[in-house]
Structures are given as structure tokens and as C-alpha cells.
């Protein structure tokens, strides 16, 4: 799934943030990857992101996504998506705010 957001930094830089993830991820997987791109809204130039931000991976190799959904989200996979995506967005926007 792809979602795009307008994002303006505290110092006024404007970006289009693209967030991509797989809503059909198998519950037997352990890691949930979320990919980011930030494009300058004036120039269209992509911000160079380090690999750990460009592809943000959340999870625990010791437990599957299905186990995590049952134990921490009362079986609600969409609630896990919201939690994970909001966490990843905070991490990515924090990186961009620092001006790297």
C-alpha cells in the first residue's frame, strides 16, 4: 500500500512523504518492512535517506506477526499496522527534521 503525505519541517522545508508497506503480509513473517521516500516539493529532488530509515523494519525474529497481533493487539492486524506505521513515520520525520 502506498500513502502520500505533505510534510513541512519546523524550518519550512516542504516534502512529499511516500510511505509504502504490504497490507497482505503473511502472519507467519517476523519482520514488517515500511519504506519511505521524501521528495522536496519545490525541486522534486529525493532526500537521500540512510538504509535504516529508507526501509524501516519493525518486528522480532523470535515471534511471528501473527503471534504479535494476538498477544499485543487483541487479534486486530489493522491496529498493529497503525501502531507500526506511526512509529516508523515518527522515526523518519525526526531524521528529516535534523536536516541530514
Q: Do the Cβ atoms of 17 and 7 come closer than 8 Å? A: yes
Say what the pLDDT of residue 99 is. Answer: 76
pLDDT in tens, 32-91: 999 999 999 999 999 999 999 999 999 999 999 999 999 999 999 999 999 999 999 999
Residue 100: its pLDDT value, please? 63
DSSP conformation class of 71: H
Calculate mean pLDDT across residues 1-21.
Answer: 95
> Given this model, what pLDDT does residue 14 score?
96
The answer to whether the predicted template modeling score (pTM) of the entire model surpasses 0.75 is: yes
The answer to whether 75 and 40 have CB atoms below 8 angstroms apart is no
In this predicted model, what pLDDT tens digit does every residue of 12-38 receive, in sequence order? 999 999 999 999 999 999 999 999 999
Amino acid at each position: 500500500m502506498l500513502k502520500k503525505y505533505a510534510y513541512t519541517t519546523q524550518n519550512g522545508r516542504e516534502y512529499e512523504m511516500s510511505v509504502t508497506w504490504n497490507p497482505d503480509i503473511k502472519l507467519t513473517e517476523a519482520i514488517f518492512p515500511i519504506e519511505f521516500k521524501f521528495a522536496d516539493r519545490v525541486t522534486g529532488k529525493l532526500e537521500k535517506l540512510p538504509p535504516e530509515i529508507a526501509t524501516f523494519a519493525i518486528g522480532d525474529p523470535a515471534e511471528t506477526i501473527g503471534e504479535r497481533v494476538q498477544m499485543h493487539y487483541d487479534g486486530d492486524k489493522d491496529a498493529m499496522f497503525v501502531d507500526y506505521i506511526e512509529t516508523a513515520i515518527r522515526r523518519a520525520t525526526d531524521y528529516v527534521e535534523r536536516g541530514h
